[in-house]
A and B are shown apart, each in its own frame.
Chain A
Amino acid sequence: MNISIVDYGAGNLPSIERALRSLGAETECVTRPEQIASARALILPGVGHFSAFVAGLRERHLTAALQHAIAGGTPVLGICLGLQAMFSSSAEAPGEPGLDLIHENVHALPADVKSPHIGWNQLRRLRKSILLREIPDDAYFYFAHSYAAAASEPHTAAACDHGFPFAAVLEQGNMMAVQFHPEKSGETGWRVLRNFLEWAQ
């Protein structure tokens, strides 16, 4: 399986690359629109600031290429900020358009909980999930974020609660995303990546 990892200029790519390679995938970091157009499957990783992310995509002319590829059915896995970027906009950068694949907004975690939400948390399954296949219900995943998308139909397969129920696992057609870091979530997280690879195959 050949996986294209979108390199928008920030993001910790080595750890996701290493995880995917250990699972038998061939990886390529892509920075050009034509590479995205021809990708068999895409990983959209992300850490940092929403505006840096969307600006990074824009400067490399990747925004439209991603929108087309995903609309055209290319399997994609968004990770952390990569999940948030699929939405219309984020409270982290008001006025900065996201990829707008899901017409909702990303919210800040409320002031009555610790933020960033950092550490290992559990999920609440809302329906049968492809990414969580064969993973126990009480498994923990590593989160590190200050913003989140509200859990809602039809995209959320599993939610996590921190301030409000947010989308932790998103599965909608060929579009998949996780708010946690599968590459940093031990064996359980690597299982999520394996499930994505098998499904995208």
Chain B
Amino acid sequence: MTLARRIIPCLDVDAGRVVKGVEFAGLRDMGDPEELAARYNREGADELILLDITASRDGRATFLETVRRVARQLNIPFAAGGGIRRLEDGYAVLRAGADKVTVNTAAVERPELISELAAQFGSQAVVLSMDVKKMNAGWEVFIRGGAESSGRDAAAWAREGVSRGAGEILLTSIDRDGTCSGFDCGLTATIAAKVSVPVIASGGAKTFDDFLAVFGEGQADAALAASIFHTAEHSIGALKTYLAGRGVPVRLSR
């Protein structure tokens, strides 16, 4: 009996379409969220994350509609976030059918947001998403889609987030995101050792061995990827079979 390592496809959504950026810039259309969600559900994804990358507030209704449409396709858990600033924003995505809500910039600016969401919905429903970049002084948390330094140390912020009630950490390496050079295992292992909650590694996935490494030396509980799944470069089933063959506990579909 073992808790399986999770494979989580991520859908970055803008105006009702799945898009993909490279190093947090330059968007490319990757398809319809509902179709992709249905495919991942079928292929054995363990979970899904849906992120609203639209900056404008008026895109909110469109995103909630996407959450509702995606929810109808799934019988696995999914998290939704992007632009969650207040308790009501979290409530809206959960009512639309998401199981968890992710918070990022607004939590850095007002950490009480994490406590409020956890008190209302439980820690299992609150994912602290952090975008991290290697600086001279160490790993630093960036906000506004990676555009701005927060001045916060990644490990310290992860610990604070957990103490405020975050139930999972979604840890994205800005340096690796979209580069296809593998997960940042050093960063992931550092954060995983500092917190008591599961860590989802994100940024840089390209090959099956990247996943093997992040579950091994990276100590990740889950690994997230987007473009390699969207383009059907890799099927989730094939990835999991590969990992199972190398001793990683994964849930193989039915």
Contacts and interface: CB of A to CB of B under 8 A. Distances in A.
Interface in B21-39: none
A56 to B, nearest CB: 12
B124 interface: yes
Interface in A115-138: 115-124
Interface residues of B, number: 33
A158 to B, nearest CB: 10
Contacts of B119: 49
Nearest to A47: B122
Overall SS of chain A's interface: mixed
Interface of B: 1-6, 41, 46, 71-72, 75-77, 94, 97, 99, 119-125, 167-168, 196-198, 221-222, 251, 253-254
Given A124-B1, A144-B99, A119 B75 contact: no
B121 A184 contact: no
A12 B99 contact: yes
A118 B167 contact: yes
B228 to A, nearest CB: 21
B198 A14 contact: no
A184 B198 contact: no
A183 interface: yes
Contact of A48 (B1, B3, B122, B196): B122
A142 interface: yes
Interface residues of A, number: 39
12 contacts: A14-B97, A18-B72, A119-B3, A119-B4, A119-B198, A120-B3, A120-B4, A121-B2, A123-B1, A124-B1, A144-B124, A187-B254
A116 B167 contact: yes
Contacts of A49: 119-120, 122
Interface of A: 10, 12, 14-15, 18-19, 47-49, 52, 111, 114-124, 140, 142, 144-146, 160-162, 181, 183-190
Contacts of B123: 116, 146
Contacts of A124: 1
Interface centre among A10, A119, A146, A183 (most CB of B within 10 A): A119
B87 to A, nearest CB: 13
Contacts of A181: 77
A12 B222 contact: no
A47 B2 contact: no
A191 to B, nearest CB: 10
B71 A119 contact: no
A20 to B, nearest CB: 12
Given A48-B122, A116-B168, A181-B77, 8 more contacts: A15-B97, A19-B75, A47-B99, A47-B124, A115-B196, A122-B1, A142-B76, A186-B253
A160 to B, nearest CB: 7
